[in-house]
Amino acid sequence: MWAQGDWAGDWEKEIEAIAATLCELTRIEGPGETVWLDGDIGARPLLLALYRRVLGLGSLVELEVKIPEARRIALEAASLEMLAAVSPVESARIASATRYIMVECETPSGSLAGADMEKLAAMRKARHRARQRLYELPSCSTLFPNPYYAMRAHMGWDEYLELFFRVMAVDLRALYGRFRTATALLTSGSRLRLQGPGVDLTMDVTGRRFVADDCTYWNLPDGELFSSPVETSTEGYIYFETPQYYYQDTPVEELALRIASGRVVEVRARRNGDFVEKLLAIDDGARGIGEIGIGINGAVDRLTGDVAFDEKAAGTIHIALGQGYEECGGRNESAIHWDLVKDIRRGGEISIDGNRIFRGGRLLEDSDLLAS
């Protein structure tokens, strides 16, 4: 049911355009480079377009195609020690790659719902440790549409495809260019405050860099300003009206968090709150705030339940529990990085050192920013 169909032929030009964008963002220029293409089997049309383009540029390319169900089999059949180890084959790929592109295309049968938390943590810790070098290379991750994504977003298939290709066609350099002043104010500031219905959070971002398009690792669709707050600084509460998913597996409904000294100290949820508590018990860093992000991509005009889209939607904020970003100055360490997205378009405000930057989810004009 979830296999790749013939629909991709109707979007061939758009798929080729995405391949071109990925090559541009990862700065693939030709001979002397080794590109690792890493993707799920359902992303075949995009993987083949990338393969053809990279070879055409004269770069060496290693194509790895994965079956999503294999992750679940690994968690069921492998021992904890095996999951905590890194394959020598993968280590060799990581050591030799000069560029990295990952394309995800999940399926219901690859869901990790109900997986053993200890095994899952071991697998993700090993993956993060092994792949640290990849995040320092010109790299990019993205996804490829399938009916499962559309179903999860409560959208018709044609409607989902229109959204997907519209969002992926956004000129990212032009988008980020409109947020230069805001990014500079955030990076040079200290006290960040997020306010609105269901949220009042303050955090210290002194010395922490807000990343826009000045990054080496892109995550398409893109369109966010993000950083890692000082680890012990976040205070307040936040309530999420929409379901939150950890790797799309378990919906947590009406999640509310109280945070003190940078750590989650209280969890409430109408559904699956026990799952959250188990997740936060994975390691000591899981209760910490690893990221604060602001969505700025207006082409994402609705929340879909897929964090890859939702965290980029203009008028949203997100915090991530767990692993922080070293490139921003973050020091929190954890096996998890769970993005939680909140819509603040109705009555929300973002301010830095008492100066409003966003109101009602919209960026204030540069003149207003500098005067506020």
Grouping H, G, I as helix, E, B as strand and the rest as coil, residue 244 is strand
The three-state secondary structure class of 214 is coil
Length of the chain: 372
Greatest distance between any 2 Cα atoms in the chain: 60
**What local confidence, expressed as pLDDT, does residue 6 receive?**
63
CA-based end-to-end distance of the chain: 54
Q: What is the pLDDT of residue 1?
A: 39
Residue 224 in tokens: 């966010």
φ, ψ for residue 344 (rounded to 5)? -120, 25
Tell me if 317 sits within 8 A of 203, measured CB to CB.
no
Asked if 21 and 213 count as a contact pair (C-beta separation under 8 A), the reply is no
Provide the residue type at 207 as one letter: G
Per-residue confidence (pLDDT) for residue 368, from 0 to 100: 54
AA identity, residue 276: V
Angle at 199 between CA 112 and CA 285, to 5 degrees: 45
- Distant-in-sequence, close-in-space partners of 274: CB < 8 Å, separation ≥ 6: none
User: Mean pLDDT per 10-residue run, the chain (372 residues)?
Assistant: 59 95 93 95 96 97 93 91 91 93 89 81 85 88 93 91 95 92 94 97 97 83 96 98 82 96 98 92 95 96 89 96 94 94 94 94 66 50
296 alpha carbon, distance to own chain's centre: 14
How high is the pLDDT of residue 3?
A: 46
Q: Which pLDDT score is estimated for 113?
A: 74
Rounded to an integer, what distance in angstroms lies between the CA atom of residue 323 and that of residue 326?
9
Residue ranges of domains in the chain, CATH in brackets? 6-169 (3.40.1830.10), 173-371 (no CATH)
In this structure, which long-range contacts are made by residues 305-308, counting pairs with CB atoms below 8 Å and at least 24 apart in sequence? 305/152, 305/153, 305/154, 305/242, 305/243, 305/245, 306/149, 306/152, 306/153, 306/248, 307/245, 307/339, 307/341, 308/143, 308/219, 308/221
27 CA to centre of own chain: 21
Q: What DSSP letter does each residue of 26-54 carry, written as one string?
A: TT--STT-EEEEEEEGGGHHHHHHHHHHH
